[in-house]
Amino acid sequence: MPTLWTSWPRYLLVHHILSEEERFLTRVKYSDQEEDEPEAGSSSQSQSHTEPSIIQQTSSTRGPARAGTASGENKAGSSVGSPGRQGELPRVVSLNSGGGASGFVGKMSEISWIQRAFETVRGYRDDNPGRVHAAEMDVNIATTTDFIYFMDDTNVLAVDEDYVDPYHWPAKESVVLLSEAFFHAMQGTFHFVLREQFLQQAYQFSATGQNLSWSKRRWLALANLVWAIGSKWLQITKLDESSSNEDHLIYYARARALGLDHRVLFDHPDIERVQGIGLLAFYLLINGSITRAWNTLGTGTRHATALGLHLKVTDESVSQLEKARRARTWYSLYSLEILIAEMTGRPKSIFLVDVTIPIDLFWSAPQEIVGFSGQVDGFLSPDGSRKIWLEYLHACRNISQMTGGIVPWKSFASLGHEVPTSYLPQRLYLCRLSDRVASQMYSGTSEDSWSEIQNKIGTLQSELREWAENLPQELAIQGHKHVDTDPRTKIELGMYYHSIAMILNRPCLCEINIKDESAHSQEFNRSAARACVHAAMSMLALMPDYPTAHEANQLLPWWSLLHFVAQATAVLMLELALDAQHCRDEIPQLATYLRKAMGYLWCLTEGSLSAYRAWRIFRQLLTEVSQRYEDLDLTDIPTDAQPPPTWNEEYEEATRNAFSNSRRKEYPFPTES
């Protein structure tokens, strides 16, 4: 792989990122005194050479609530910013057989940001930016259809369930490795099944043939999905050279034969089947079938609600283990729902106002789990199983190229160790914050003025910053406390934090023109836009340099890696398309991080239709954006990437047509067929 970007001194990378946080905190103080004496903008340079922390981008200030009722921002609607008009369907959409992320895409999605960047660089302007009527059709607004990059990376039905033995039981060694690979791959983020409980059931499972009870059939279907996900992760990380690309498809075919099939409805499922539906949605997600995952997850959340999993259990006869099982199942569904909403911009089917189950259940493991630590049938205990897995992981893992990033490299020696108990509650707080950002900032029914939007942004910024400042040491990117826990948790938290910061501040990353707007409002817009751009750069700074696909999938949140990289890339591209008006003195830094982002997209194209299409879209956008600059340093960014083996002429033609169709002035993007 060629060198994709030149080295940038570490202190300078820190220098430009941290300085914006300092300026935002010290300058944007909306008070009566400052209304009389607005402070002039300061230089973007700072003398801080401190290593960047997880709290770099977000302001603790609130919006310009005291700017005066006569100011333009109090009269202008929220549509003056981006995402603009939200309760409208610009073009009738179809689902195209459910492939990829077909269908409606909302303004919170980075796909919408890509569309806006293309519109901006090609000079498209909305003739009536102030109209905010909800639920209207408007042929003058571009649709995001052509820029949906999610595709079905794998035909999950390639193996016919009628031609597999659904009751086949893998060898014990395979059960250990596939099960542990699954739990390792989930990184403590999704708890659809409890590890110790699942391993005990797996090691005790002895029934063979077709004489299984219905409960054992349901459990075996769930187990096959666990192994399908574990097999998929081993494949993309190249940790099992002996496995074929079809292994995970075989396990899914067995799960379908046993009743876990995304094409069928589920009648009156129990909690175990709800867990299986959640795993099925996750499996579809990691194979690029975003719309299928969204539909399947919707079914799972409906059944979970019917079972009362969203409610606090006061029945004293329910054990702590069962309470933990219910809570972890519910919040796994919720976390996945939030992720898909962030990817697609679609409304959610879960509302926090209805949820009473406490998060504090996750601060400690149920006492009953200790009972699973013993040896099972002379085979393995969960601790013994983990030991075998870690030995296998260390023997197969060979990180030879990826270096750099904010996290100390030596900390990766504890890869695969315990996940801090504080991780899940902290992550769920971010999920809830993302949920509130979506409902307050991206609702199609909002009638807020622009100043009210600014106040909401400021309030949420304060909450995001407060979360980061109170993060436990074991989860802080630069925590000085040495802990022997899996370092991937702090990387995932950091990336997710910056992802939410981008979503939160994105409405200000545009060209805002408000008649009689106050100076304070203008400064808030500019600072929030810079915070969005700096969040993108900080996310990329967290990630190791010189990536390879299999190594990136080992160390980073692989299920959302393409989404995160696309978010950051779209933000950087959009700022450059806006002539870097918010970061005029940081164009070299923008180019540096853009090279890194393109490097990740380039390496992820290996075996991924979604990543390859994303690469093609961003490469075209980069070509057009770069024409606006005389000295934009895009050294070492390849002009082409190797298409995946399954890329065909139909995909190629659709991609080329998307670029040509989006050039039409009067009707920028075609209706979906």
SS3 labels along 637-670: CCCCCCCCCCCCHHHHHHHHHHHHHCCCCCCCCC
pLDDT value for 439: 92
Q: Which tokens is 347 given?
A: 């409304």
Q: Contact 644/609 with Cβ under 8 angstroms?
A: yes
CA distance 263 to 355: 29
Q: Where are the beta strands (DSSP E) in 162-252?
A: none
| Mean pLDDT on 248-277 | 93
pLDDT value for 35: 39
pLDDT value for 140: 36
**225 has pLDDT over 90:** yes
Q: Which of 103-112, 286-295, 598-607 has the lowest mean pLDDT?
A: 103-112
| Mean pLDDT on 52-59 | 43
**255 has pLDDT over 80:** yes
Phi, psi values for residue 223, rounded to 5° = -60, -40
Q: Which of 65-79, 125-139, 440-454 has the lowest mean pLDDT?
A: 125-139
**617 has pLDDT over 80:** yes
Q: Which of 9-23, 128-142, 281-295 has the lowest mean pLDDT?
A: 128-142
pLDDT value for 603: 95
| Mean pLDDT on 37-53 | 37
Q: Which of 508, 506, 466, 488 is nearest to 560 (CA)?
A: 488
**537 has pLDDT over 50:** yes
Q: Which of 219-228, 388-397, 474-483, 627-636 has the lowest mean pLDDT?
A: 474-483
- pLDDT tens profile 370-428: 555 555 555 578 888 888 998 888 888 765 556 666 665 555 667 778 899 999 999 99
pLDDT value for 23: 39
User: Could you count the other beta carbons within 10 Å of the beta carbon of residue 615?
Assistant: 25
Radius of gyration in angstroms for the set of CA atoms belonging to the chain, rounded to a whole number: 25
Q: Contact 31/66 with Cβ under 8 angstroms?
A: yes
pLDDT value for 663: 56
pLDDT value for 384: 85
**457 has pLDDT over 90:** yes
Q: Contact 162/111 with Cβ under 8 angstroms?
A: no
Higher per-residue confidence, 630 vs 569? 569
User: Dihedral of CA 358/359/364/370: which sign?
Assistant: positive
pLDDT value for 382: 80
| Mean pLDDT on 300-327 | 93
122: exposed, middle or buried (C-beta count within 10 Å: 0-12, 13-18, 19+)? middle
Q: Which tokens is 274 given?
A: 């709800």
| Mean pLDDT on 636-648 | 93
**654 has pLDDT over 50:** yes
Q: Which of 130-144, 295-309, 435-449, 503-517 has the lowest mean pLDDT?
A: 130-144
Q: Which of 404-408, 475-479, 668-672 has the lowest mean pLDDT?
A: 668-672
pLDDT value for 271: 94
- pLDDT tens profile 157-206: 999 999 999 999 999 899 999 999 999 999 999 999 999 889 988 988 86
Q: Which tokens is 546 given?
A: 């010189």
Q: Where are the beta strands (DSSP E) in 44-103?
A: none
Q: Which of 170, 158, 134, 162 is nearest to 249 (CA)?
A: 158
Q: How long, in residues, is the chain?
A: 673
Mean pLDDT of the chain: 81
pLDDT value for 7: 35
pLDDT value for 212: 85
Q: Where are the beta strands (DSSP E) in 20-87?
A: none
* Band (332; pLDDT cuts 50, 70, 90): very high
Report percent pLDDT > 70 for the chain. Answer: 74
**230 has pLDDT over 80:** yes
